[in-house]
């Protein structure tokens, strides 16, 4: 039986894509949205700060470090599982979060491990640090319109799953 979370679990590039150019309509829409950019950035930073505070004292999760001098707005909120502190696989952790109503995702398979590049002769083991990191990371819900209740639900779910799988 296929697990409903499988579509979130694995994404693979099987062929090269195209370099599409933006249409005039898309450009106009973009220009209208640029005025909202700072608001969206501030909202994402607020969510990141909430997650960072909630997870900072959990050795089971390794958080992505921020550079204090940087004014970065993250695209994803990545949690990295610490295999020395947890008694589960990444898939088990992922499925447990999904069962709690949180929608995690797995990002990103090292490029050379996509079937397209494997066919060109690239082999697993080429970048062992990237591969090890990939095997330990997932993202949790993170977007500007995330509601307070959704943030709290995600935090509770992560903490519950960590507690369950803690060594």
The domain that holds 100 is classified in CATH as 3.90.1150.10
Residue 82, both tokens: 């610490």
Q: What is the pTM of this model?
A: 0.86
Could you tell me if residue 14 is inside a domain?
Answer: no
The dihedral region occupied by 123, where left means phi > 0, alpha psi between -120 and 50, and beta the remainder, is beta
Could you tell me if residue 126 is inside a domain?
Answer: yes
Number of compact structural domains in the chain: 1
The parent domain of residue 52 ranges over: 20-165
Could you tell me if residue 6 is inside a domain?
Answer: no
Could you tell me if residue 15 is inside a domain?
Answer: no
| 162 closest CA partner among 59, 56, 49 | 59
- Chain segment 98-145, per-residue pLDDT in tens: 999 999 999 888 989 988 888 899 999 999 999 999 999 999 999 989
Could you tell me if residue 10 is inside a domain?
Answer: no
- Chain segment 60-77, per-residue pLDDT in tens: 999 998 888 988 889 999
Cα atoms in the Cβ-side hemisphere of radius 13 Å centred on 11:
8
Looking at residue 122, the DSSP 8-state letter turns out to be -
Could you tell me if residue 3 is inside a domain?
Answer: no
């Amino acid at each position: 039986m296929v697990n409903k979370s499988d579509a979130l679990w694995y994404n693979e590039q099987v062929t090269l894509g195209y370099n599409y150019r933006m249409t005039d309509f898309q450009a106009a829409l973009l220009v209208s949205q640029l005025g909202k950019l700072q608001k969206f950035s501030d909202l994402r930073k607020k969510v990141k700060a909430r997650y960072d505070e909630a997870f900072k004292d959990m050795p089971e999760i390794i958080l992505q470090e921020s550079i204090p001098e940087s004014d970065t707005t993250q695209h994803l909120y990545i949690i990295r599982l610490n295999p020395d502190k947890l008694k589960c696989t990444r898939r088990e952790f992922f499925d447990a979060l999904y069962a709690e109503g949180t929608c995690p995702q797995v990002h990103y398979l090292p490029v050379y491990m996509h079937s397209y590049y494997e066919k060109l002769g690239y082999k697993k083991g080429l970048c062992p640090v990237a591969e090890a990191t990939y095997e330990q990371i997932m993202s949790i819900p993170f977007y500007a319109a995330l509601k307070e209740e959704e943030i709290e639900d995600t935090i509770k779910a992560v903490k519950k799953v960590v507690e369950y799988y803690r060594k």
